[in-house]
Chain A
Amino acid sequence: MTGNEPPVLEGGARPDLSVVAPLYNEAENVRALVDWIVEALAEYPGTVEIILVDDGSQDGTWAQVVEAATDPQVRGLRLGRNVGQTAAMMAGFDHAKGGVVVSLDGDLQNDPRDIPALVAKLDEGYELVCGWRQRRQDGFLLRKVPSWVANRIIRRLTGVPITDNGCSLKAYRRDLLTRISLYAEQHRFIPALSASVGARITEMPVRHHARRFGKSKYGISRTVKVLADLLTLKMITTFRSRPLLGFAAASAVPLGASLVFGVLWLIALTQFGPAKARALVFPTAGLLALGTALYLFMLGLAAEVALRSEQETLNSTPTAWEVR
């Protein structure tokens, strides 16, 4: 239902480095964050812009951003409503003009002093450098364990060897950001999505601090949703251009099951006759499995159709004539 188009950046000065920080109810942290970033980048040889994205905060974050924006390096974006971290980051990326873009959390948990090292690493020929939080200052059971499990699954599923997918502190080449578009809650999957468009990726250790002010906006409930997102990730990273292949592979399982049922049914039929065979094998299960296999295959075809006809037909207006 959201049909906003990405913005077109006008010309103007292009800084060398854009630092993007999404903020949701971080009024107490804005000032300190900006000061910290400015201080950390004092030695940085190029020009810098800091983009603060207020993701529909209700606690006066925007007033703080406006105050911080008296510094000419600082720009502010205020979103119409709370859209979540991924979309807020995307807003920052869309408006960033730097050749190199760095993202970090707005809650002071990432350390801006790591930025120069990340950017230097990028210059070694990478398009994405991911931070890897050392000595994570978060709750063990609710944050670290689920995160460890999720990272392992992501690594297994996508084959992208990044240890800490959840760390917001990352450095990107601008070119990469024009090739991936993040939505829903995909900020966790940036390395995998980047790899799927052919980016060179590496990671390096970064510092991590406990929250100073405010409360964490995450809980354990998100872990359940991450599973659905992982399945999606697999689908769109591996089968984006050939969805039929993915669905055909999935339909192999019920197809195999139906074959087994069929063969068993035939054996039972020839050995014991129809009445006994019905009691031994359940042929309906085989038929349902066959139906499911066919259905999945057809879905794959439907996905191919969607791929080919990408135009948006919903928004067309019927014709009308003017009465004169």
Chain B
Amino acid sequence: MTAKGVLQEPVGAPMTTASSPGSHGTVSVVVPVVERMDDLVAVYHAFARELEQRGEAFEFIFVFDGGFTPPPELVERSREVLGVHLFRFAQRFGETAALRLGIERSRGDVILTLPAYFQVRPEGLGPLLDAVANGADLAVACRSPRQDNWINRLQSRAFHKMLGGLSGQRFRDIACGVRAIRRPVAETLPLYGDMHRFIPAIALREGFEVTEVAVPQHASDVQMRLYGPGVYLRRLLDIATFFFLAKFTEKPLRFFGLVGSMFLSVGGAISLYLLIDRLAGQAIANRPLLLLGVLLIALGVQLIGLGLVGEIIVHLRSPHRRAYRVREQI
């Protein structure tokens, strides 16, 4: 995930030395326009004003997913002002792809991701940027105090509880779209599929320093969020995927082998039981249990085989891949 072509020029010194507020280097605001789009010009003005007041040098990068048209006013603005860039996808690629593109095309020292609607109040940007200036690799906003109704809060609680239970990571608002990320970190994060909701968790797994910063919620973000059953199912799958990837990416056979050998042993036990029955003189050929036993053995073998293919793929990639990340070197 490196910047390509003309954009691949150095973007200044690393940010570790900056400590006083207002000295973050340049900030690239990346706005993925997916799913929901409010008045983008208003969003731009509100946050740009806040950044201006803080004395930041900044640029805005809007990435429009397939199906979203940039508002004419914004296009106009991008022609007038140097620091506003608009990109469009021809098809729907989703938020993660939009974020990737925004990060690749930006050149700031800090990437600030922002939803295409008012999720937090603009004055919340300050503490977020300060957190990164003070040494965090990634700071994610935590909408607080939460003004949502109890349904929203309940489902959010359930989501975070499940994630915490599986991964041991305690986040309060992991899916918040407002995050400040140091550039080298943003460039190394493995972003693909539907993983944008887990960016802080991924960063933590990769060995980066991640903090949550309380940021006031915007009034227009407070609305009832009830989704179709498909959406909830997808969230569950997301958590399962994240957990599986975090735990078994390097050793797929540990997972498939465990499940496979469970199948094998249950199937084997059933078959053994039937064999004893048969030796005792009972007919077993027409019993459904026999089918179950044989089926479980076959499934177990197949699962272990799948795990082995996984291992081969992991092994093939291993020369180019390291599990560790060096934080400091002396």
Contacts and interface: CB of A to CB of B under 8 A. Distances in A.
Interface of A: 1-7, 55-56, 62, 65-66, 69, 75-81, 83-84, 86-88, 90-91, 94-95, 181-185, 225, 228-229, 231-232, 235-236, 240, 243, 246-247, 250, 254, 278-282, 284-285, 288-289, 291-292, 295-296, 299, 302-303, 306-307, 310, 312, 314-315, 317-324
Interface in B106-154: none
Given A4-B206, A183-B318, A232-B311, A278 B323 contact: no
A205 to B, nearest CB: 32
A267 B328 CA distance: 73
Contacts of B70: 323
A181 B315 CA distance: 9
A317 B317 CA distance: 20
B325 A303 contact: no
A310 B316 contact: yes
A184 B251 contact: yes
Interface stretch (B38-46, B47-55, B282-290): B282-290
Interface in B51-89: 63, 70, 75, 78-79, 85-89
Contacts of B330: 65-66, 69, 75-76
B258 interface: yes
Contacts of A84: 323
Given A78-B326, A83-B324, A292-B302, A1 B190 contact: yes
A128 B126 CA distance: 55
B294 A282 contact: yes
A173 to B, nearest CB: 18
Interface size of B as a range: 35 or more
Given A4-B321, A80-B206, A87-B322, A323 B285 contact: no
Contact of B257 (A6, A228, A247, A317): A228
Contacts of A182: 318
Given A291-B298, A299-B306, A306 B312 contact: yes
Contact of A231 (B188, B208, B253): B253
B202 interface: yes
Nearest to A75: B330
A317 B312 contact: no
Given A69-B330, A91-B322, A235-B308, A184 B298 contact: no
Contacts of A312: 317
Contacts of A315: 1, 190, 192
A255 to B, nearest CB: 12
B194 interface: no
A302 B316 CA distance: 14
Contacts of A323: 70, 75, 78, 86-88
A83 B285 CA distance: 52
B101 interface: yes
Contacts, number: 217
A194 to B, nearest CB: 14
Interface in B153-202: 188, 190, 192-193, 202
Nearest to B316: A310
B104 interface: yes
A243 B312 CA distance: 8
Given A3-B190, A79-B324, A318-B89, A181 B319 contact: yes
Given A1-B205, A4-B321, A318-B93, A80 B326 contact: yes
B155 to A, nearest CB: 26
Given A69-B330, A231-B308, A292-B301, A87 B205 contact: no
A53 B313 CA distance: 28
B101 A279 contact: no
A97 B222 CA distance: 57
Given A232-B311, A299-B306, A310-B316, A5 B321 contact: yes
A293 B1 CA distance: 41
B260 to A, nearest CB: 10
Given A314-B192, A321-B87, A90 B207 contact: no
Contacts of B325: 4, 79-81
B66 to A, nearest CB: 10
A232 B257 CA distance: 10
Given A183-B314, A296-B302, A317 B327 contact: no
Nearest to B204: A81
A322 B86 contact: yes
A257 to B, nearest CB: 10
B272 interface: no
A80 B285 contact: no
B302 A87 contact: no
24 contacts: A2-B190, A2-B205, A2-B250, A2-B321, A3-B188, A69-B330, A76-B328, A80-B324, A87-B322, A183-B323, A225-B254, A232-B253, A235-B308, A236-B312, A278-B285, A284-B291, A285-B294, A292-B301, A295-B305, A306-B316, A310-B317, A318-B97, A323-B70, A323-B75
B20 interface: no
A80 B205 CA distance: 9
B312 A235 contact: yes
B149 to A, nearest CB: 35
B326 A77 contact: yes
Max chain A Cβ within 10 angstroms of own Cβ: one of B75, B86, B284, B328: B328
B205 A280 contact: no
A240 B315 contact: yes
A78 B325 CA distance: 8
Contacts of A254: 298, 301
B311 A235 contact: yes
B36 interface: no
Contacts of A303: 308-309, 312-313
Given A69-B330, A306-B309, A279 B206 contact: no
Contact of B326 (A7, A69, A231): A7
